[in-house]
Amino acid sequence: MDIELMINSFPKLLNAAVVTLKLLSVSLIVGLFIGLLFAILRLSKNVFINKFAYGYSYVFRGTPLLVQIFIIYFGLGQIESLRTSFLWVILKEPYWCAIIAFALNTGAYTSEILRSAFQTIKPGIIEAGQSLGISTKIIFYKIQIPIAIRQSLPAYGNEIILMLKGTSLASTVTLMDLTGVAKYIISTTFKPIEVFVVAGGIYLFITFIIHNIIKYLEKRYSF
């Protein structure tokens, strides 16, 4: 064990963890909106809307994240007409390609988490609202959504942690996130164990923080 290398690489890796956290937070925020939208679409009685939403979550949950990010980054980059379109401004950047892939992926899982949370809401709660003369819209926004979010907290906490680890794939499309910088250091020192142990420790620490935030929220909003 080269302790000196571990100490020297720590600040560099910590810096890179900022990139990882940026990737994670942006894709989680975008993914949450996508997830909420598609969860609502899944509850639709219209067969086409319902099937479309189901198809989205089926495709993105049924394929590896690495494949998705490669298709978006290297795959779309091969299409000539896309390269000359305005979309290329975004797709040219590995950062946005990674965000798109991560957001679509976590969006698919989030939509499933929220859908099942919506479906577990007891009809009695909605009926109670109706009997008080509250409009369907208000019931949905003020009763169903808050309950669904609370119900899905434990599962969503899991999803955040899975996504954190998923961001390590950003290094495959040239981004210098925590894993990317770790690989870079290894490429000049040829000592993978030391560097990956430090990088793994940082991931573990971030997970620890996320886990405790979710635990706090669960307690705070329990009923």
Partner 1 sequence: MMNIFKKTIFSVLLSLLVIGNVNADKIRIGTEGAYPPWNSKDESGKLIGFEVELAYTLCRYIGQQCTIVEQDWDGMIPALIMRKFDAIMAGMSITAERQKAISFSQGYADEVASLAVMKGSSLEGLDTPAGINLTKPNAAAKKALKTLTAALAGKTVCVQTATIHQNFLDSGDVGKVNVRTYKTQDEVNLDLASGRCDAALAAAVAFSDYAEKSGKPVVLTGPTFSGGAFGNGVGVGIRKDDTELLKKFNAAINKARKNGDISRIATKWFGFDASM
Binding site for partner 1 (CB under 8 A): 74, 77-78, 83, 88, 92, 94, 172, 174, 183-184, 186-188, 190-192
Q: Which is nearer to partner 1, 78 or 222 (CB)?
A: 78
Do 9 and 1 meet the contact criterion of CB atoms below 8 Å apart?
no
Looking at the Cβ atoms of 110 and 171, the one nearer to partner 1 is 171
Of the pair 48, 190, the CB lying nearest partner 1 is at 190
> Which C-beta is closer to partner 1: that of 107 or that of 180?
180
Min CB(164)–partner 1 separation in Å: 22
CA nearest to 198, candidates 19, 22, 15: 15
Scanning the chain, the segments in alpha helix (DSSP H) are 3-42, 47-62, 65-70, 80-83, 88-91, 94-120, 123-131, 136-138, 145-166, 178-189, 192-220
Beta carbon of residue 3, minimum distance to partner 1 (angstroms, whole number):
18
d(CA 58, CA 42): 12
Q: How far is the CB of 92 from partner 1 (least distance, A)?
A: 6
C-beta closer to partner 1: residue 3 or 132 = 3
Nearest distance from C-beta of residue 167 to partner 1, angstroms: 17
**For residue 149, what are the CA distances in angstroms to 55, 58, 76, 159?**
23, 22, 35, 13
Shortest Å distance, C-beta 200 to partner 1: 16
The CA distance from 39 to 54, in Å, is: 9
